[in-house]
Structure 1
Amino acid sequence: MKKYLLGLLFVLAATLTGYSQTFSYGLKGGINYSMGGEIQGNNSTLSYWDGIAEGEGALGFHGGVFGQVNFGKFFIRPEIVYSSLTQEFAIPKRDENTEFNVQTFTIPVLLGYNIYGPLDIYAGPVYSNILESQIPDEELNDHIVVQNTPINAQIGAKVEFGRFGVDVRYEHSLSDAERQAVDFINSEYGGNQGGANKGWFNDSRLNQVIVSLIFKIGGPGLNEGRRRGRSCY
């Protein structure tokens, strides 16, 4: 992980040396809507839930930094982002949905193209490190183990005006599903009359729609809006 980050910073520094006039950087943050996941009950004694609960999308949040190097109408945009994802599962015999929470540290490296004026499109791979993944301890006897350091993919578009912009993208997991056993605390799920007990987390992969606000700290064209405002007087 550290070698990867150091390599990325080295490449970025070398790029800045040759293309300092076309480099911009700043902050980003916003919300994410997660999708995916599947939990299946195990009816081992003919009295417990044996159905399938599909993940129901829920909102999370993210924040991070970005850099962008332009090559004419093309650009490369590395980012470093922390994300908190939440997915809900409607398991019978429980008043509230079961929440699956995941915290990630990701490094997207995106290749983009300027369509026209402030509108850009982009796509690229995402290195993702899972910091934590869990269903609350009071509901589960064991921990959820999510495949670490998976490679995902993102595609999206952004518009920027001066220092500010809006970014909308979709992230898709490229990992294979990893089935694992789960042991629910039965008293939290309706007791022995049809409640959840043993089961399987068939698929813990999460895809997401990401909406970000962008704030540029440095780069070309940041004062264009101000200059246009002065010309009106």
Structure 2
Amino acid sequence: MKRLIFATAFLFFVSLTFAQGDFFDLGLKAGMNVSKLSIDADDYNDETVNNVNFGAFARLNLGRIYLQPEAYYSNKGGTIEDVGMSTINEFDLKTLDIPVLLGAKIINKEAFNLRVMAGPMFSYATDKDYEGDTFSSDNIKDSFMGWQYGAGIDFLMFTFDVRVESSSNIITEVPDFSDSKSKSFILSLGIRLM
């Protein structure tokens, strides 16, 4: 994990030396997550919650192909109801997310781009809050990996992305929750500074 953080930071800073022309973009972004924690069990119902994300991105443009590492703070969570016992379990998970996305520009114009992207995402929990009777926040992993995929547009200096994120097995040591997944639908608006 330390190597991944170092590699991402290295990529951000080394890329600054190539910040000429259209090869490199650096920017800020913020948006909204619609997330839920789901499990594969008949006795439970899961519901989504709305949260926020904000952070920074870099983009290395290689013609129509690009590499886009990001680092952003995100709130995730969800509500799971135990139908048989009428108990509600609420999760609020704050994470530092580091996606490393490989993308392609379907439309590549001077002032407008239409893009698709996909890649791994690494999450590190900075705060774990849980309300319920089934287990404790200690059962939520401190770090986990997932995937993101989606599409985006660039217009002048603005970016808009729509993504789906899925992370598996974020809860441990609780039999009914051993196949838990965090799923998010992410909307973000960004501005390219360079």
TM-score computed with the length of structure 2 as normaliser: 0.82
Match of 1:143 among 137, 141, 156: 137
Change (3 A) 1:18 1:26: closer
Match of 2:173 among 159, 180, 196: 180
> Counterparts in 2 of 1:1-233, with a 5 A limit?
1-18=1-18, 20-21=20-21, 22-38=23-39, 52-91=43-82, 97-116=88-107, 117=109, 118-136=113-131, 142-173=136-167, 175-176=168-169, 178-181=171-174, 200-218=176-194
Please say if residues 146 and 204 of structure 1, whose CA atoms lie closer than 8 Å, have aligned partners that are also in contact: no
Root mean square deviation, CA, Å: 2.7
| SS of residue in 1 equivalent to 2:4 | helix
Change (3 A) 1:141 1:5: closer
> Which deviations, in whole Å up to 9, do the C-alpha atoms of 1:55-86 show, x marking residues without a partner?
21111111110111101111111100111112
> Which deviations, in whole Å up to 9, do the C-alpha atoms of 1:28-51 show, x marking residues without a partner?
1111111342397xxxxxxxxxx7
Separation (CA, whole Å) in 2 of partners of 1:16 and 1:33: 33
Higher share of residues assigned strand: 2
Unaligned runs of 5+ in 2: none
Separation (CA, whole Å) in 1 of partners of 2:101 and 2:136: 37
Separation (CA, whole Å) in 1 of partners of 2:116 and 2:61: 13
Displacement after TM superposition at 1:180 (Å): 2.9
Separation (CA, whole Å) in 1 of partners of 2:157 and 2:30: 14
Separation (CA, whole Å) in 2 of partners of 1:215 and 1:142: 39
TM-score computed with the length of structure 1 as normaliser: 0.69
Structure 2 residue identity aligned to 1:108: P
Separation (CA, whole Å) in 1 of partners of 2:19 and 2:172: 47
Change (3 A) 1:134 1:203: farther
| SS of residue in 1 equivalent to 2:141 | coil
Aligned pairs, how many?
Answer: 188
Structure 2 residue identity aligned to 1:136: E
> Which deviations, in whole Å up to 9, do the C-alpha atoms of 1:158-188 show, x marking residues without a partner?
1111122211001112x4465534xxxxxxx
Question: Which of 1 and 2 has greater Rg?
Answer: 1
Separation (CA, whole Å) in 2 of partners of 1:141 and 1:150: 19
Percent pairwise identity:
28
